[in-house]
Structure 1
Amino acid sequence: MPIYFGSNFAREPFQFDSVGNDWEQESVTRPEGYPLYHYLQTKEGVGEVTVYSRNQAVSDNILSNSHTIELQKGQGILIAPNVPHSYHNKNISSGNSLPWKTEFATFTGTMAATFREMFDEKEYWLIDENKGMEVSEAINKAVEDFKERSSDTQMLSLDCYGIMLLLSDQSNHTHDNDDQSYVRFIKPVIDAIEESYIDDISAKELADSVFVSQQYLSRVFTEFMNCSVYEYLTNYRINKAKELLLINSRRKVQDIASDVGYSDASHFIVMFKKLTGMTPTQFRKLHI
């Protein structure tokens, strides 16, 4: 049941306070919440998480303003700092002795003040099974990196940043996956963007791929995603560029631009600065 703790002496922008997998989870009650962003995902068994309003204390009484979530295998929850919560193995409460095994991570770093903006300032977010598979792989990689290269704080910072990107991406998708409009029009377009963002794709081509007009796709996409197709594509490309700028620290900016679908490096720099408030070079210097 491995668990690792980040170095208190490291000064990286994104750091693990803790990370672990295959953890036999015990019951936890936190009346004051946890001081950091805290992610918990079911690996085996079933967990039950109750999140309370920040304005309420956790007690033995049944609270009206609370949310109880069942975490099946592959499902996770990200809880914001200082949000009261509790969780336990649902199997035990139902008379079943099967363990509840979890994967988890808690996040800190010199950029911690910006995490609330990154996660849209909500109290908690649920992570579905599809995204959970990606998060699980990222947590497993971080655990292995702690085993093999625990002194490489820059690499571990990149591991941490990668997990946070996965979680923030899911937290911004506040849709109903069972909605037929989402299934027919939105999901295929998102999949196409994530598979082909390197290519020269347009909103019209994406609309044609799901057999609707560009205007109709724009209206439905904005309803579900709170942004246009073009904005989603641009944001996805820029987030990929952030990863590449940190992972490939010696690769030229114009090459990074090409890697994420921009044939014009000047246009890439303009869009990067528009979304982040800094140039790609400034972003790289800030984090490396």
Structure 2
Amino acid sequence: MEDHPMPIYFNSAPVDFPFQFDSIGNNWDQEPTMRPDGFPVYHYLQTQEGSGILTIDGQHYTIGENQGVLLAPGIPHAYRSVSGKWITLFATFSGSLSPYFSALFGSSHLLFFENEKAATIRKLIDQAVLHHQETPVDSQLLSQECYQVLLQFTGGLQVNPSKQPAWEKYIRPVLASIHTRYMEDLTADALSREVFVTPQYLSRLFSRYLGCSVYEYLTKFRLSKAKELLVSHRGRKIQDIAQDVGYTDASHFVLMFRKMTGMTPSEFRKIN
């Protein structure tokens, strides 16, 4: 196997674009890597030559040529070469819209890609690596290319979280509580007590499987219900809808709604 140049580039944009490569590289002579706390952002790894083994929760996944995997943030993992050199390409993702990546990719903490899909991702990453080499770097173009890569991740092969013991024991019952009792005075502390774990542990599990904290999931779910009510019950007052979805303080509801959507509940109602 011939030697390869090993380019790696990190985000240097002076402003926060919606989608950004936090880091990106190809032709990488991959060394054994262990991350007991996972990676802080979404991380994609693909084999160019050779093959590697990814280990998560004691399970081993082989990543052969023209195969790749997207890992959610905070998932403890390790990977190494099967034998000899393992040449990879990779990208990690950030940007102002990164809190919503989990909604784009789904609930699985692992997504696998192969064949034509992996070939398309490789082509896009190779192209972005070339554009990182230009002077000056066109950050807006790279943001657009990052978005094109992220779009490829919507059709990955999922590792079904429902087959994971932690999902069944902790995540599923908490989701059921949120979905049926979101209008009540729910908190992350109260939900963690329902499944007999600490709030910190439950939030780590939510981050692992859903890409967000318990509080973030509860907030997003409540506000999605608020959107439905704003459109379907146009005569109902904003403060009443706030209470309908679990907010006793209408001003806090308006603040959170604006933070999530960029507009007030009244403005949302007007354009819908």
Q: Give the TM-score normalised by the residue count of structure 2.
A: 0.55
From 61, 86, 91, the counterpart of 1:69 = 61
Q: Does the aligned pair in 2 maintain the 1:22–1:43 contact within 8 Å?
A: yes
Is the counterpart of residue 86 in structure 1 residue 86 in structure 2? Answer: no
**Over 2 Å off, 4+ runs:** 169-174
Residues 141 and 14 (structure 1 numbering): CA distance in 2 closer, same or farther, change over 3 Å?
same
Rounded to whole Å, the distance in 2 between the matches of 1:28 and 1:104 is 13
Distance 1:121-1:150 versus aligned 2 partners, 3 A rule: farther
Shift of 1:167: 1.6
The CA deviation at 1:11 is 1.2
- Residues 138-217 of structure 1 mapped to structure 2, 5 A cutoff: 138-149=124-135, 151-171=137-157
- The one-letter amino acid of 1:123's match is H
Query: Match of 1:4, SS?
Result: strand
What is the rounded CA distance, in whole Å, between the counterparts of 2:137 and 2:65 in structure 1? Answer: 32
Give the aligned CA root-mean-square deviation in angstroms.
Answer: 2.0
Tell me whether 1:37 sits opposite 2:29 in the alignment: no
Residues 1:35 and 1:111: Cα distance change in structure 2 (over 3 Å)? same
2:100 equivalent in structure 1? 114
Gaps of 5+ in 2: 1-5, 161-260, 263-272
Q: Does 1:135 align with 2:110?
A: no
Please tell me whether the aligned partners of residues 138 and 159 of structure 1 are also in contact (alpha carbons under 8 angstroms): yes
TM-aligned CA distance change 1:119 to 1:171, over 3 Å: farther
- d(CA) in 2 for partners of 1:139, 1:35: 20
Distance 1:123 1:2, change over 3 A: same
Q: Could you tell me whether the CA contact under 8 Å between 1:73 and 1:129 is conserved in 2?
A: no
Identity of aligned residues (%): 38
CA contact (8 A) 1:36 1:108 kept: yes
How far has the Cα of 1:171 moved from its partner?
A: 4.9
Counterpart of 1:79 in structure 2: which amino acid? L
Partners of 2:10 and 2:23 within 8 A in 1 = yes
Partner of 2:23: 18
**How many angstroms does 1:112 deviate by?**
0.6
Partner secondary structure for residue 88 of structure 1 = strand
Note closer, same or farther for the CA distance 1:43–1:150 as it changes in structure 2 (3 Å cut): farther
Shift of 1:130: 1.9
Q: Secondary structure at the match of 1:76?
A: strand
Q: Partner of 1:148: helix, strand, or coil? A: coil
Shift of 1:9: 2.9
* Structure 1 position 173, deviation (Å): 11
- CA shift digits 1:70-104 (9 cap, x unpaired): 0110100000000000000111xxxxxx3100000
Query: Which amino acid is the alignment partner of residue 45 of structure 2?
Result: L
Whole-angstrom CA distance in 2 between matches of 1:170 and 1:149: 34
Residue 217 of structure 2 is matched in structure 1 by: none
Secondary structure, in 3 states, of the residue corresponding to 2:125?
Answer: helix
On the 8 A contact 2:109/2:159 being kept in 1, the answer is no
> Residue 62 of structure 2 aligns to a residue in which SS?
strand
CA distance in 2, matches of 1:172, 1:32: 21
Report the equivalent of 2:206. none
TM-score normalized with structure 1 length: 0.52
What amino acid is the match of 2:76? P
* Aligned-pair CA distance for 1:150: 5.0
The AA in structure 1 aligned to 2:134 is E
CA displacement at 1:152 relative to structure 2: 1.2
2:91 to 85, 89, 105: 105
Maintained 8 Å contact 2:43/2:92 = yes
Shift of 1:129: 2.1
CA contact (8 A) 1:48 1:89 kept: yes
Measured in 2, the distance between the counterparts of 1:113 and 1:25 equals 29
Unaligned runs of 5+ in 1: 53-65, 92-97, 175-276, 279-288
